[in-house]
């Protein structure tokens, strides 16, 4: 009962709109018995359903979105309770599907309705899965991956023939990624199996709902999707925490604010503390624990903890046993705890939409403000926090970028459908094109995807005799052997983790995972902190890191490659505006204002639209620092490219450092003409060369090779034996790049490298801007604005020739010096 009480079933009055909706008496009575009334947007969803329209509901957390999604289904099923699958509910999170099941079952039970609701995820036992296919429930709760697998079964044709509605929850969280691609393809399939299917999506508030309407609509036709908006939530109560007005020069941790955080925890019932990385979550947890004199119960939650550990913490939260929980994006979605009354964001928020989502985790009563505190870790983060503060006050969200669907995901989908039965190429192409991400897919590319599945798609045509798909005389593509279906189902999925080792105690209890690259730095006897515990390595076996509790605290904390959250273009634009708005500085704390004033005095502040570039000598080197505010990815890429160009122009670059806000480069020779370095042709000349020779394309290739089914996924905990030996996709990449550089998978890897890994779009915008607006200031010494960047850790040194070679030689010579008699 603890959850749904808060989820906005009760508040709200019928706002006078007369909708042509007849709720069955049994539902009306149920509302009335609780002294509640349906909300306007709930009724509008019913109206859309009875008008036979698809619908997108956009509403704040706590507005009763889930119920709004389900009411039309309940209403239908009361009128006609006949057997067969009626509604499919799809959530991006396994745990969420379980949670909604609980929240949906309670009212169904209370109304005494004969409606069967079941969940189906990767954790569902296989006998139940088999039964679900034969005798499906009325409402099935599942994930995009599990749905995709369901569609790979022959009997899916019958199972989905009765389907009336599909509800996609939290659509804002994944529509524009690869899981969104997969789901949009599955929706297209479902529409073929059940032509009158109504599509419904539930979303948090977004900048442009039309993007999501188009994504949801068959053939991207947004007019088919009715937009329903929930009422606005109360304005959040947001503050920026500045202990004694202090904002450090550098760092991201907000460590200076720990004593104040302990006080905040003491003042509130339950506090959620969001951190941007798993590393920062462990670090913050440790610092809080060290300062935790009042001995508050504080927990930690992040995506690399074992499922058991996460469930335990989630359980403790639900039972109200914790006063605070340090967490990461792992809690951006998912289980709502109605009793959270304060949210803290450590470091910079990175985007206004994400921040609003996080704020929405506190206080689910629509009519009361959510309380949230921002803790910037350095001066630029203060500016970013202020920008986010303003954006939240104005209710402005970040825009989302939608990109064409990935070809690796398409390959997985098509293989799945082939497992379900033979298909006709042209008909399937038309179906695939009705999914918005693939609307521009042409017949030739689609044919390449099929050829890729059938034979690997190699120019050499070496595998024509081992075909996985064959075109039979009936003109359809058939699966060559049923064994390939089992193989597909075993390997399908969209999430590809970096190689990980499982952390466990000798008794087998699992704690979670660390990346292989971190594990490689450890040997028996070394200590590190994980899940808030100090651990000592006992041994490393295959894919296991066996640990025991350490006797003393450990400073070493694992870090994870994971995707960095980039600063959104919207917040970046706001920060740039703030820098140029001198009168506005008056509201900043003294330290920040003086820092900016000193910058204006010593160097310059860029005017709106200008890109500031400073050059100055420092510590016997020549520095160039620029402030594009385009996010770490774009700056890191720019650093790589510019140092390459400097190298070829004899400027002898030595290294660079990038943050979300700025890029600094240092060299032995001075840069006199930065304009020549920032020209847009760098994206043609140096970019391709760099991406191909860097780890970026290999990393992207690894993902597309797994998703597309080229290589088998390594399942966690599985031992390497015999034929199952997994081998490095790097080797495959090398061979493929050498002999068939135009292969479909290299194309797919390139698409990922351009969009997600390098942010080349933003980089291009930056360089376009630079051409006309560059403000170059040559200084005698370092500028105030440059300080936070240059004291950062995470500097990159420029690799001369082959990096690994250089490192090996260096290591050998160091070892021989150290070991010399």
Partner 1 sequence: MAQSFEFGGQTFEITGQAALYWRAQDALLVSDLHLEKASAFALYGQMLPPYDSVSTLEEIATLCRTYRPAKIISLGDNFHDDDGEHRLAEGAAALLVDLACNTEWIWVTGNHDRAVSGMWGGKAFDALTLSGITLRHEAQAGDPNPEISGHFHPKFRQVLRGRMVKRRCFVKTPRKLIMPAFGALTGGLDVQDVAISKACDLKYGEGVEALVATQSGFARFALASPP
Pick between residue 681 and residue 812 the one whose CB is nearest to partner 1: 812
Give least dist CB 800 to partner 1, A: 12
Quick one: which of 553, 771, 784, 556 has its CA closest to 662?
784
Pick between residue 594 and residue 810 the one whose CB is nearest to partner 1: 810
Given a contact cutoff of 8 angstroms between Cβ atoms, the answer to whether 364 and 61 are in contact is yes
Given a contact cutoff of 8 angstroms between Cβ atoms, the answer to whether 665 and 624 are in contact is yes
Give least dist CB 699 to partner 1, A: 13
Pick between residue 2 and residue 481 the one whose CB is nearest to partner 1: 481
Give least dist CB 804 to partner 1, A: 5
CA distance 589 to 376: 13
SS3 string, 47-90, reads HHHHCCCEEEEECCCCCCHHHHHHHHHHHHHHHCCCCCCCEEEE
Give least dist CB 89 to partner 1, A: 33
CA distance 573 to 582: 16
Strands 663-667 and 653-658: antiparallel
Pick between residue 402 and residue 458 the one whose CB is nearest to partner 1: 458
CA distance 381 to 111: 51
Give least dist CB 506 to partner 1, A: 18
Pick between residue 371 and residue 513 the one whose CB is nearest to partner 1: 513
Give least dist CB 793 to partner 1, A: 11
Give least dist CB 659 to partner 1, A: 18
Pick between residue 105 and residue 555 the one whose CB is nearest to partner 1: 555
Pick between residue 102 and residue 720 the one whose CB is nearest to partner 1: 720
Give least dist CB 566 to partner 1, A: 22
Type and span of the H or E element at 428: helix 425-433
CA distance 774 to 126: 62
Pick between residue 35 and residue 801 the one whose CB is nearest to partner 1: 801
Give least dist CB 808 to partner 1, A: 5
Burial 373-391 (b: 16+ CB within 10 A, else e): bbbbbbbbbbbbbbbbbbb
CA distance 390 to 369: 16
Pick between residue 231 and residue 712 the one whose CB is nearest to partner 1: 712
Pick between residue 718 and residue 805 the one whose CB is nearest to partner 1: 805
Given a contact cutoff of 8 angstroms between Cβ atoms, the answer to whether 115 and 82 are in contact is no
Say how far residue 310 (Cα) sits from the centre of its chain: 18
Q: Which residues bind partner 1 (CB under 8 A)?
A: 452, 455-458, 460, 462-463, 466, 468, 481, 483-484, 487, 516-517, 520-521, 710-712, 723, 725-728, 731-732, 734-736, 738-740, 743, 801-805, 807-812, 815, 819
Given a contact cutoff of 8 angstroms between Cβ atoms, the answer to whether 503 and 535 are in contact is yes
Give least dist CB 317 to partner 1, A: 36
Give least dist CB 740 to partner 1, A: 7
**Residue 330: count of CB within 10 angstroms of its CB:** 17
SS3 string, 625-681, reads EECCCCCHHHHHHHHHHHHHHHHHCCCCEEEEEECCCCEEEEECCCCCCHHHHCCCC
Give least dist CB 420 to partner 1, A: 17
CA distance 312 to 549: 19
Alpha helix stretches (DSSP H) within 662-743: 674-677, 682-693, 695-707, 729-739
Pick between residue 460 and residue 668 the one whose CB is nearest to partner 1: 460
Helix axes 94-110, 65-79, angle to 10 degrees: 50
Quick one: which of 62, 67, 63, 100 has its CA closest to 364?
62
Pick between residue 196 and residue 816 the one whose CB is nearest to partner 1: 816
Give least dist CB 530 to partner 1, A: 18
Pick between residue 468 and residue 754 the one whose CB is nearest to partner 1: 468
Quick one: which of 310, 306, 392 has its CA closest to 343?
392
Given a contact cutoff of 8 angstroms between Cβ atoms, the answer to whether 680 and 767 are in contact is yes
Quick one: which of 89, 146, 112, 91 has its CA closest to 30?
112
């Amino acid at each position: 009962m603890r959850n749904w009480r808060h989820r906005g079933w009760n508040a709200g009055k019928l706002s006078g709109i007369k909708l042509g909706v007849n709720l069955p008496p049994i539902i009306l009575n149920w509302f009335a018995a609780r002294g509640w009334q349906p909300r306007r947007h709930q009724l509008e969803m019913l109206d859309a359903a009875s008008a036979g329209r698809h619908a997108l509901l956009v509403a704040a957390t706590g507005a009763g979105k889930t119920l709004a999604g389900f009411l039309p289904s309940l209403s239908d099923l009361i009128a006609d309770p006949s057997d067969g699958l009626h509604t499919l509910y799809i959530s991006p999170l396994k745990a969420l599907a379980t949670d909604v099941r609980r929240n949906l079952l309670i009212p169904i039970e209370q109304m005494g309705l004969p409606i069967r609701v079941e969940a189906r995820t990767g954790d569902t036992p296989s006998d139940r899965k088999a039964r679900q296919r034969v005798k499906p429930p009325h409402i099935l709760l599942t994930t995009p991956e599990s749905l995709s697998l369901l569609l790979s079964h022959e009997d899916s044709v019958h199972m989905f023939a009765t389907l009336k509605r599909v509800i996609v929850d939290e659509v804002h969280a994944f529509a524009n990624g690869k899981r969104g691609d997969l789901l949009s393809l599955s929706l297209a399939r479902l529409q073929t199996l059940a032509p009158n299917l109504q599509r419904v999506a539930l979303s948090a508030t977004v900048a442009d709902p039309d993007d999501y309407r188009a994504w949801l609509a068959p053939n991207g036709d947004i007019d088919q999707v009715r937009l329903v908006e929930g009422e606005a939530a109360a304005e959040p109560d947001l503050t920026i925490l500045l202990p004694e007005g202090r904002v450090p020069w550098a760092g991201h941790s907000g460590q200076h604010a720990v004593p104040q955080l302990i006080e905040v925890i003491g003042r509130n019932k339950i506090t959620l503390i969001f951190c941007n990385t798993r590393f920062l979550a462990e670090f913050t947890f440790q610092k809080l624990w060290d300062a935790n004199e009042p001995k508050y119960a504080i927990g930690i939650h992040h995506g690399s903890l074992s499922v058991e550990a996460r469930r335990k913490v989630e359980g403790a939260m639900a039972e109200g046993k914790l006063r605070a929980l340090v967490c990461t994006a792992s809690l951006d979605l998912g289980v709502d705890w109605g009793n959270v009354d304060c949210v803290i964001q450590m470091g910079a928020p990175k985007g206004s939409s994400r921040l609003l989502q996080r704020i929405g985790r506190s206080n689910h009563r629509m009519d009361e403000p959510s309380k949230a505190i921002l803790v910037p870790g350095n001066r630029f983060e203060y500016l970013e926090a202020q920008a986010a503060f303003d954006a939240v006050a104005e209710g402005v969200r970040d825009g989302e970028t939608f990109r064409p669907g990935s070809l690796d995901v398409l390959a997985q989908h098509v293989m799945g459908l082939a497992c379900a039965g033979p298909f006709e190429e042209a008909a399937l192409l038309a179906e695939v094109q009705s999914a918005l991400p693939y609307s521009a897919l042409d017949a030739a590319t689609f044919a390449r995807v099929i050829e890729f599945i059938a034979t690997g798609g190699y120019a050499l045509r070496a595998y024509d005799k081992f075909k996985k798909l064959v075109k039979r005389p009936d003109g359809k593509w058939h699966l060559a052997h049923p064994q390939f279906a089992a193989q597909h189902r075993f390997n399908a999925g969209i999430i590809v983790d970096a190689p990980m080792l499982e952390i466990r105690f000798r008794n087998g209890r699992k704690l979670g995972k660390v990346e292989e690259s971190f594990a490689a730095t450890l040997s028996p006897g070394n200590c590190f902190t994980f899940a808030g515990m100090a651990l000592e390595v006992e041994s490393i076996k295959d894919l296991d890191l066996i640990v025991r509790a350490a006797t003393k605290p450990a400073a070493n904390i694992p870090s994870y490659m994971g995707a960095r959250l980039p600063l959104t273009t919207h917040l970046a634009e706001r920060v740039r505006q703030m820098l140029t708005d001198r009168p506005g500085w008056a509201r900043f704390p003294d330290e920040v204002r003086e820092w900016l004033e000193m910058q204006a005095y010593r160097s310059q502040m860029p005017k709106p639209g200008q890109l500031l570039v400073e050059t100055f000598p420092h510590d016997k080197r020549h520095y160039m620092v620029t402030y594009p505010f385009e996010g770490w990815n774009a700056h890191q890429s720019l650093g790589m490219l510019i140092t390459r160009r400097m190298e070829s122009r004899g400027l002898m670059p030595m290294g660079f450092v990038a943050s979300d806000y700025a890029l600094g480069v240092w060299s032995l020779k001075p840069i006199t003409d930065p304009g020549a370095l920032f020209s847009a042709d760098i994206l043609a000349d140096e970019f391709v060369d760099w991406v191909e020779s860097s780890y970026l394309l290999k990393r992207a290739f690894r993902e597309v090779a797994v998703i597309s089914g080229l290589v088998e996924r390594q399942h966690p905990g599985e031992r390497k034996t015999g034929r199952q030996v997994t081998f490095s996709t790097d080797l495959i990449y090398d061979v493929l790049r050498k002999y068939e550089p135009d292969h479909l998978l290299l194309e797919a890897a390139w698409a990922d490298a351009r969009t997600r890994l390098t942010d080349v779009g933003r980089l291009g915008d930056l360089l376009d801007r630079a051409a006309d607006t560059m403000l170059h200031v040559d200084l005698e010494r370092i500028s105030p604005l440059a300080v936070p960047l240059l004291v950062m850790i995470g500097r990159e040194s420029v690799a001369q020739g082959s990096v690994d070679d250089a490192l090996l030689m260096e290591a050998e010579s160091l070892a021989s010096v150290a070991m010399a008699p």
